Amino acid sequence: MGTKTMTAFHAIFLGAPGAGKGTQAKKLAGVSGCLHISTGDMLREHRSQGTELGCQAQGYMDEGKLVPDGLMVEMVVERIARPDAADAWILDGFPRTGEQALALDRAVDDSAGGITHAVFFDVPHGSLIDRLTGRRTCSQCGAIWHIKFKPTSRDEICDDCEGALVHRSDDNEAVVEQRLSAYRTQTEPVLDYYRDRGLFCEVNADQAPDAVFEDLGKVMLKEVG
């Protein structure tokens, strides 16, 4: 990592499933114009198109397990190498293992501007099951809602685009438990990889989305700016 170029904005969003990384990344990308790269969304897209990667990832995702590092690293390195990703992106849901973090550093070294922000979305584990099992996603625009915490005005219809809402199959309680367990054992240790560097910052994500977004702006400017 080390010296950063003036123009690069290469942020990674870290935190448990259900911590709100996707909601915040979408919003920040919308106002800043940077590219939002969600590895979960990319994998779901591969699955819906029936690609080889989608087929390889399917079983792991359905069981709430992490897709193997080799597949993930190849997918992400290819994505961030495309011209539209050059200077400004948010990586949401990657890295999730130590091996992925090392591979990301190799791919985005100082000559490419390095990683500029590592943001940890902190939510108590007790809140996560409710947040995940009540989550609904718009099948059309990808907006994220919640039956209790962020309801739409009409049942199962997106307020933003009137698309149909879906309940992700891996947001059911049994799979959620497995995803949280994978997070604790494989992803939580990755926080330490970034914690002692100047680029790490932390947001209290146990608040309403607008309050989290306000804090996100403050900590990203204060801690790293």
Q: Judged by CB, which is closer to ligand AMP: 93, or 113?
A: 93
Residue 137 CA to residue 39 CA, distance in Å, equals: 16
Backbone dihedral angles phi then psi of residue 133, each to the nearest 5 degrees: -70, -25
The single residue of 21, 26, 131, 136 carrying the catalytic annotation is: 21
Q: Does 193 bind ligand AMP (CB under 6 A)?
A: no
Which tokens belong to 157? 């219809």
> 3-state SS string over 171-192?
HCHHHHHHHHHHHHHHHHHHHH
> In terms of Cα–Cα distance, which of 133, 161, 136 is closest to 146?
136
Which tokens belong to 152? 């739409």
- Are residues 24 and 13 in contact, defined by beta-carbon separation less than 8 angstroms? yes
Q: Which of 60, 99, 202, 224 binds ligand AMP (CB under 6 A)?
A: 60
- Are residues 149 and 123 in contact, defined by beta-carbon separation less than 8 angstroms? no
> In terms of Cα–Cα distance, which of 156, 205, 145 is closest to 13?
205
The answer to whether residue 21 is catalytic is: yes
The single residue of 4, 26, 96, 136 carrying the catalytic annotation is: 96
Q: Which of 16, 25, 66, 212 binds ligand AMP (CB under 6 A)?
A: 66
Q: Judged by CB, which is closer to ligand AMP: 158, or 182?
A: 182
The single residue of 26, 44, 131, 135 carrying the catalytic annotation is: 135
Number of other CB atoms surrounding residue 67 within 10 Å: 19
The residue number whose beta carbon is nearest to ligand AMP equals 40
Running DSSP on this structure, what letter comes out for residue 221?
Answer: I
The answer to whether residue 135 is catalytic is: yes
The answer to whether residue 168 is catalytic is: yes
Of the chain, the end-to-end C-alpha distance in Å amounts to 16
Q: Judged by CB, which is closer to ligand AMP: 3, or 169?
A: 169
Q: Does 94 bind ligand AMP (CB under 6 A)?
A: yes
Sole window of 7-15, 66-74, 77-85, 217-225 interacting with ligand AMP (rule: CB under 6 A): 66-74
Q: Judged by CB, which is closer to ligand AMP: 4, or 135?
A: 135
Q: Which of 8, 64, 120, 146 binds ligand AMP (CB under 6 A)?
A: 64
Q: Does 20 bind ligand AMP (CB under 6 A)?
A: no
> In terms of Cα–Cα distance, which of 109, 165, 120, 115 is closest to 139?
165
Q: How far is the CB of 178 from ligand AMP (least distance, A)?
A: 8
Where along the sequence are the contacts to ligand AMP (CB under 6 A)? 17, 39-40, 43, 60-61, 64-67, 72, 93-94, 96, 100, 170, 179
Hey, which residues are catalytic here?
21, 96, 135, 168, 179
